[in-house]
């Protein structure tokens, strides 16, 4: 490996090499009409891909509640997108050049997979939740009395006897969402095929031209622009769909007794997949009518045609024979291995953040999914776009070398980490829930939550264990149902229903006239909303600073290896990131989130469903602590990589000076080896 301290010549103006030739191609002749059409179509495909990806992140909690599954299972669904990528990397690497590239880009599969993710909604019956307003949930002709009654035990037995239909219907359907996400993940490396298709890059020069294209892509490329706009529309679409009830058009919205802030609320999660799936199919259709290859540029075709070009096509045996030694050389590069470990740790933290930030904000600050998704799109996506744009501009403007790129990335990473430190101070307390976070009399702490739900004031009420229909008492304490509050009468209907004669509320010392409760959890303190907005502002700043180092992140992985290994280094780098970063992170952290659950929802047939209430303090320390720890360790490795690169640059400079002194005539500055 050779390293040079001088600026990389790949950033000097404006001669771009194609197929190994220093050919200055006029910009007015580089783009045929077919090429312009393909660029536009691929830009739209990239837009739909990023839109669907952001929308998927915004529906995590909705899918979890609709299918009654824990966060670890939702993490498997989220990680299945990367599994789809892994299924096709080998196929693309070998067969990509043998077929009609526009047709194998995978946009059609992405559209089909996206539509498939919405299929469970159409094969499942209407969403049912336990509520005191029984008429809105009476599809099975039996209801649970939410008030204190001696008849509740017999009603529970009826529910258990009739629950098998519901369990058989809902158990396997989330697998369809997982399979659809796998298909969506088979996008066949859009950007790499984009380069190979309309630049006719030879295999030996892919990595070099990739450097040129990445700089152009992150600076002025339309793909970059639409790729950043896509998540904005994705989160906005997620916000809109989450504001609608899941069975929109089938259920009278006024009869729904829960609000978007309720842990039982499920928005129209499927609607966004239908919209984005149809858009993806619309983008895929024109690609089938493009030619197999673009018309060659006369200037480049003359240069590529002479006999000095290699006409021999390597066989699979010859490729495999060279693969082993090349991989060994790559993996014995100490700097590359350190950078690879850094990338895996940093990508784990990044995956956790983008996957579970909406859920964290909903639980920590008591916000609805609709409001959370909208504000994430409005505040974070523009800062990300600006940061990525300026990152490419800085690389071009200052012509940063390998060492300069690494220093820029390290500075941006550490600064963004410092911006996240105030997150730990932005916290809200758990609401008071009788038998869960506070005892019924409010005098001692709850020691055994499983035994804390039933006490002397509601022992004879026969309250079902699986019920979650929270009410807020006049003592500002939330009870998991009117039955558990000991209420014996109701007034009003639907959302205006109130409960009276609640013996458990009276046990707090209130008079019988003040022992009523209303539907819904008690509201949080007003400071929670202010902290929510402060968190979003700090997050926007942290994302902006972090994204200033996005372009160096990929370019450094190309420049720290020998030129002949650049293509392999990119493949190994992306493969390792997906296997050890994109797949395990959402699954493992989802299991950690499940460990913070205080009250699990229970299915009528038995078994736990989705979590109804988390210990938000433990959730906060797990989420922020784990992400900060991963980032701190990864940035320490990046600092070591920076030091090693600096030493290598200094050694190479010294070797170059010594060689110039010994052989001044043979030293030609134009023949110095540059590590790109």
Which tens digit of pLDDT belongs to each residue from 490-532? 887 777 788 888 888 887 766 656 678 898 888 888 889 999 9
Cβ proximity of 513 and 464 under 8 Å: no
Q: Which of 353, 360, 359, 416 is CA-nearest to residue 585? A: 353
Please tell me the predicted confidence (pLDDT) of residue 157: 52
Tell me: do 509 and 544 sit in the same domain. no
Per-residue tokens: 515: 């022992």
Please tell me the predicted confidence (pLDDT) of residue 5: 42
Tell me: do 499 and 538 sit in the same domain. no
Final residue before a domain boundary, out of 519, 551, 574: 519
Q: Which of 620, 598, 262 is CA-nearest to residue 437? A: 598
| DSSP string for residues in 389-426 | HHHHHHHHHHT--HHHHHHHHHHHHHHHHHHTGGGGG-
Cα–Cα distance for residue pair 127/246, rounded to 1 Å: 7
Cβ proximity of 239 and 58 under 8 Å: yes
Cα–Cα distance for residue pair 112/277, rounded to 1 Å: 7
Cα–Cα distance for residue pair 39/45, rounded to 1 Å: 10
- Burial label for 387, CB within 10 Å (0-12, 13-18, 19+), is buried
Tell me: do 606 and 506 sit in the same domain. no
Cα–Cα distance for residue pair 276/155, rounded to 1 Å: 43
Per-residue tokens: 489: 């009468």
**Domain count for the chain:** 2
Tell me: do 556 and 453 sit in the same domain. no
Cβ proximity of 18 and 30 under 8 Å: no
Domain of 490 in residue numbering reads as 449-519
Low-confidence ranges of the chain (pLDDT < 50): 1-31, 90, 93-98, 134-144, 168, 188, 191-192, 195-221, 297-311, 443-450, 666-667, 669-676
Cα–Cα distance for residue pair 515/382, rounded to 1 Å: 49
Read off the DSSP letter of residue 32: -
Beta bridge partners of 110: none
Residue 668 located in a structural domain: no
Please tell me the predicted confidence (pLDDT) of residue 319: 58
Query: Helices marked H in 285-401 — which ranges?
Result: 298-304, 316-331, 334-365, 369-398
Residue 628 located in a structural domain: yes
Cα–Cα distance for residue pair 262/239, rounded to 1 Å: 16
Q: How far is CA 470 from CA 120, 499, 519, 619, in A?
A: 28, 12, 7, 22
Tell me: do 111 and 199 sit in the same domain. yes
Q: Which of 276, 313, 230 is CA-nearest to residue 112? A: 276
Residue 22 located in a structural domain: no
User: How many of the other CB atoms lie within 10 Å of CB of 434?
Assistant: 28
Per-residue tokens: 10: 């790949």
> What end-to-end distance do the CA atoms of the chain give, in Å?
11
- Burial label for 622, CB within 10 Å (0-12, 13-18, 19+), is middle
Residue 464 located in a structural domain: yes
Cα–Cα distance for residue pair 35/49, rounded to 1 Å: 21
Q: How many helices (H) and strands (E) does the chain have?
A: 25, 7
Which three-class secondary structure state does DSSP give residue 601?
strand
pTM for this prediction: 0.81
Cβ proximity of 501 and 261 under 8 Å: no
Residue 482 located in a structural domain: yes
CATH of residue 541:
1.20.1250.20
619-641 pLDDT, tens digit each: 999 999 999 999 999 999 999 99
Final residue before a domain boundary, out of 519, 535, 557: 519
Final residue before a domain boundary, out of 503, 519, 535: 519
Tell me: do 263 and 165 sit in the same domain. yes
**CA dihedral (68, 70, 72, 75) positive or negative:** positive
Per-residue tokens: 304: 């590529």
Tell me: do 530 and 514 sit in the same domain. no
Per-residue tokens: 132: 């005191």
Cα–Cα distance for residue pair 552/469, rounded to 1 Å: 51
Which three-class secondary structure state does DSSP give residue 478?
strand
- Burial label for 143, CB within 10 Å (0-12, 13-18, 19+), is middle
Please tell me the predicted confidence (pLDDT) of residue 427: 87
Cα–Cα distance for residue pair 651/354, rounded to 1 Å: 40
Please tell me the predicted confidence (pLDDT) of residue 320: 62
Which three-class secondary structure state does DSSP give residue 287?
helix
Tell me: do 388 and 494 sit in the same domain. no
Angle at 640 between CA 636 and CA 643, to 5 degrees: 140
Please tell me the predicted confidence (pLDDT) of residue 496: 77
Residue 669 located in a structural domain: no
Tell me: do 534 and 515 sit in the same domain. no
**CA dihedral (609, 614, 620, 625) positive or negative:** negative
Kind and range of the H or E run holding 448:
none
Compute the CA torsion angle 172, 177, 181, 183 (nearest 10 deg): 70
Rg (CA), the chain: 30
- Name every residue whose Cβ is closer than 8 Å to that of residue 533 and which is 6 or more positions away in sequence: none
Cα–Cα distance for residue pair 339/554, rounded to 1 Å: 11
Tell me: do 197 and 142 sit in the same domain. yes
Tell me: do 170 and 75 sit in the same domain. yes
Please tell me the predicted confidence (pLDDT) of residue 308: 46
164: Cα within 13 Å, side-chain hemisphere? 1
- Name every residue whose Cβ is closer than 8 Å to that of residue 655 and which is 6 or more positions away in sequence: none
- Burial label for 513, CB within 10 Å (0-12, 13-18, 19+), is exposed
Kind and range of the H or E run holding 611:
strand 608-614
Residue 661 located in a structural domain: no
Which three-class secondary structure state does DSSP give residue 128?
coil
Residue 4 located in a structural domain: no
Beta bridge partners of 251: 248
Cβ proximity of 107 and 280 under 8 Å: yes
Tell me: do 144 and 280 sit in the same domain. yes
């Amino acid at each position: 490996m050779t390293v040079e301290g001088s600026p990389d010549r790949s950033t000097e103006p404006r001669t771009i090499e194609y197929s190994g030739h220093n050919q200055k191609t006029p910009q007015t002749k580089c783009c045929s009409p077919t090429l312009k059409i393909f660029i536009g179509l691929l830009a739209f495909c990239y837009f739909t891909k990023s839109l669907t990806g952001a929308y998927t992140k915004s529906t995590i909690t909705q899918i979890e509640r609709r299918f009654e599954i824990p966060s670890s299972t939702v993490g498997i669904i989220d990680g299945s997108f990367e599994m789809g990528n892994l299924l096709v990397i080998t196929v693309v690497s070998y067969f990509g050049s043998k077929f009609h590239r526009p047709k194998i880009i995978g946009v059609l599969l992405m559209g089909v997979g996206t539509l498939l993710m919405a299929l469970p909604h159409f094969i499942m019956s209407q969403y049912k939740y336990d509520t005191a307003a029984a008429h809105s949930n009476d599809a099975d002709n039996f209801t649970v009395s939410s008030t204190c009654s001696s008849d509740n035990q017999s009603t529970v037995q009826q529910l258990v006897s009739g629950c098998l239909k519901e369990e058989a219907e809902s158990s396997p359907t989330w697998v369809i969402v997982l399979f659809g996400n796998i298909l969506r993940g088979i996008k066949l490396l859009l950007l790499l095929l984009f380069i190979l298709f309309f630049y006719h890059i030879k295999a030996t020069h892919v990595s070099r031209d990739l450097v040129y294209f990445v700089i152009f892509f992150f600076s002025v490329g339309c793909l970059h622009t639409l790729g950043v706009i896509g998540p904005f529309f994705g989160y906005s679409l997620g916000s809109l769909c989450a504001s609608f009830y899941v069975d929109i058009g089938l259920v009278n919205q006024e009869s729904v007794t829960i609000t978007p802030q309720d842990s039982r609320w499920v928005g129209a999660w499927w609607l966004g997949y239908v919209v984005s799936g149809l858009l993806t199919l619309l983008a895929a259709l024109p690609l089938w009518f493009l030619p197999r290859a673009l018309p060659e540029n006369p200037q480049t075709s003359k240069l590529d045609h002479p006999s000095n070009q290699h006409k021999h096509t390597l066989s699979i045996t010859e490729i495999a024979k060279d693969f082993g030694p090349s991989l060994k050389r790559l993996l014995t590069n100490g700097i590359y291995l350190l950078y690879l470990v850094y990338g895996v740790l940093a990508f784990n933290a990044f995956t956790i953040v983008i996957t579970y930030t909406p859920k964290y904000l909903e639980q920590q600050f008591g916000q609805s999914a609709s409001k959370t998704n909208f504000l994430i799109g409005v505040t974070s996506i523009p800062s990300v776009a600006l940061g990525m744009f300026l990152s490419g501009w800085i690389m071009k403007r200052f012509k940063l070398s390998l060492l300069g790129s690494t220093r820029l990335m390290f500075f941006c990473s550490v600064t963004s980490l410092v911006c996240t430190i105030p997150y730990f101070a932005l916290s809200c307390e758990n609401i008071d829930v009788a038998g869960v976070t506070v005892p019924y009399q409010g005098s001692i702490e709850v020691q055994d939550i499983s035994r804390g739900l039933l006490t002397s004031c509601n022992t004879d009420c026969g309250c079902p264990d699986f019920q979650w229909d929270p009410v807020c008492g006049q003592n500002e304490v939330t009870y998991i149902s009117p039955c558990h509050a000991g209420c014996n009468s109701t007034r009003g209907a639907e959302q205006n229903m109130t409960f009276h004669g609640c013996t458990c509320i009276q046990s707090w010392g209130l008079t019988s006239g003040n022992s009523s409760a209303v539907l819904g959890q008690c509201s949080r303190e007003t400071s929670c909303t202010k902290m929510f907005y402060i968190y979003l502002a700090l997050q926007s700043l942290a994302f902006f600073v972090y994204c200033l180092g996005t372009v160096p992140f990929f370019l450094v992985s190309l420049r720290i290896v020998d030129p002949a290994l650049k293509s392999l280094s990119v493949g190994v780098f992306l493969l390792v990131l997906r296997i050890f970063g994109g797949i395990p992170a959402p699954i493992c952290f989802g299991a950690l989130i499940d460990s913070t659950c205080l009250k699990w929802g229970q299915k009528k047939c038995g078994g736990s469903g989705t979590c109804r209430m988390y210990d938000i303090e433990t959730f906060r320390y797990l989420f922020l602590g784990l992400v900060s720890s991963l980032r701190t360790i990864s940035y320490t490795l990046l600092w070591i990589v920076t030091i090693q690169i600096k030493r290598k640059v200094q050694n190479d400079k010294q070797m170059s000076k010594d060689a110039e002194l010994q052989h001044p005539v043979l030293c030609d500055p134009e023949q110095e080896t540059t590590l790109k």
